Amino acid sequence: MYSIEVNNLTKKFGSFVSVDHINFKVKKGEIFGFLGANGAGKSTTIKMLCGILEPTEGDALVGGFSIKSESELVKKNIGYMSQRFSLYNDLSVSENIEFFGGVYGIEKELLKEREKWVLEIAGLQGKEKVLTASLPGGIKQRLALGTAVIHKPGIVFLDEPTSGVDPVSRRAFWDLINSLSESGTTVFVTTHYLEEAEYCGNIILINAGKLIAEGNSKELKSKYLTNTILEIECTPVIDSLSILEKASFVDETSIFGNQIHIIVNDKYTGKEQIKSLLQAKNITVKSIENIIPSLEDVFIHLLEKN
């Protein structure tokens, strides 16, 4: 039922705790999102789960094998796309594919077939001889993913696979992740783009090495953010923000373009309260709406609290 079971996993570098006693489980075939800001401990966790970095404390079962005592078996049964994708820029497309086929021990006959499949995934049919360095970022990422799953592993770890590519390529990449998951592969994916969490089944959020939230998108919204949240459109927006930040009925503020989201407390009496406060300071209020929080609202709220 579970592809990954993590138990008190911890990594220390000297006295610095990079990953702090984390626990979670990943179901077979799901897209599991691992979210957190830069430096939160995502890559360190992934490297431990892939059997390439030894935990200081705790253990995990990945595909049924212990990362501590069976790391060689773990490595054979997973695919891993590292943050700086693992492709060699000075090799051609097909040379990269063949190199990774070799790393994962694929026999020659099978390799031809798998190479075709990877080319298809990356949309690189007929471009086998092209130098990898000259590929656009989005295509390179698809090729990196293809080579990471060339041996058709049951579980694949993707470390920020969409960072640094344009939104259209990012969307296309998520379609690719979806099709992998639909064919039964467990996808463990990290991102610091909070909006990408919406594409995942279950999500965990890590901050300074500690897990601070887990659940699916719906659960996260209802479990961690129960106060009323309002969206205010007004000008000038920055002045409004500093007024609202000081208001006694406001707990938290965040800004989304020309809109402000506020989380209110029990001193809040209604929209008139906001209107009169802002209008008294010569702010033009265009609209005030009650909204269902986005995951971004939930995460900002959790990160401010922790």
Ligand X SMILES: Nc1ncnc2c1ncn2[C@@H]1O[C@H](COP(=O)(O)OP(=O)(O)O)[C@@H](O)[C@H]1O
Return the number of the residue (11 or 42) whose C-beta is nearest Mg ion: 42
Q: Which residues contact 110 (CB under 8 A, 6 or more apart)?
A: none
Total residues belonging to the chain: 306
Q: State how far the alpha carbon of 243 is from the alpha carbons of 5, 229, 277, 282, 300, in Å.
A: 47, 17, 8, 11, 20
Return the number of the residue (16 or 238) whose C-beta is nearest ligand X: 16
| Distance between CA atoms of residues 44 and 34, nearest Å | 12
- Residue from 22, 33, 36, 283 touching ligand X (CB under 6 A): that is 36
3-state DSSP call for residue 31? Answer: strand
Q: Point out which span in 35-43, 56-64, 118-126, 275-283 binds ligand X (CB under 6 A).
A: 35-43
- If you search the block for the tokens 């691992």, which residue do you land on? 34
Q: Which residues contact 6 (CB under 8 A, 6 or more apart)?
A: 22, 23, 24, 25, 49, 58, 60
Residue 253 binds which one of ligand X, Mg ion, none, with CB within 5 to 8 A depending on kind? Answer: none
Q: Point out which span in 38-46, 55-63, 121-129, 169-177 binds Mg ion (CB under 5 A).
A: 38-46
Give least dist CB 258 to Mg ion, A: 32
- If you search the block for the tokens 């698809």, which residue do you land on? 142
**Residues 173, 141 contacting (CB under 8 angstroms):** yes
Residue 43 engages Mg ion in binding (rule: CB under 5 A): yes
User: What are 195's two structure tokens?
Assistant: 């909006």
Geometric angle at alpha carbon 272, from 271 and 278, rounded to 5°: 95
Q: Point out which span in 39-47, 120-128, 261-269, 285-293 binds Mg ion (CB under 5 A).
A: 39-47
**Residues 149, 185 contacting (CB under 8 angstroms):** yes
Residue 40 engages ligand X in binding (rule: CB under 6 A): yes
Q: Point out which span in 33-41, 63-71, 178-186, 265-273 binds ligand X (CB under 6 A).
A: 33-41
Residue 42 engages ligand X in binding (rule: CB under 6 A): yes
Return the number of the residue (83 or 227) whose C-beta is nearest Mg ion: 83
**Residues 186, 217 contacting (CB under 8 angstroms):** no
Residue list 161-190, contact with ligand X (CB under 6 A): none
| Contact string (CB under 6 A) for ligand X, positions 10-29, x = contact | ---x--x-x-----------
Q: Give the H/E segment covering residue 188.
A: strand 186-191
Residue 146 binds which one of Mg ion, ligand X, none, with CB within 5 to 8 A depending on kind? Answer: none
- Residue from 4, 31, 33, 44 touching ligand X (CB under 6 A): that is 44
User: What are 67's two structure tokens?
Assistant: 């990362």
Give the binding-site size for ligand X (rule: CB under 6 A). Answer: 11
Residue 138 binds which one of Mg ion, ligand X, none, with CB within 5 to 8 A depending on kind? Answer: none
- List, as one string, the DSSP characters of 127-155: -TTSBGGGS-HHHHHHHHHHHHTTT--SE
Give least dist CB 82 to Mg ion, A: 9
- Residue from 6, 24, 32, 43 touching ligand X (CB under 6 A): that is 43
Residue 88 engages ligand X in binding (rule: CB under 6 A): no
Q: Which of 2, 184, 190, 203 is nearest to 80 (CA)?
A: 190
Give least dist CB 34 to ligand X, A: 9
- Residue from 41, 55, 58, 153 touching ligand X (CB under 6 A): that is 41
- Residue numbers at the binding site for ligand X (CB under 6 A): 13, 16, 18, 36, 38-44
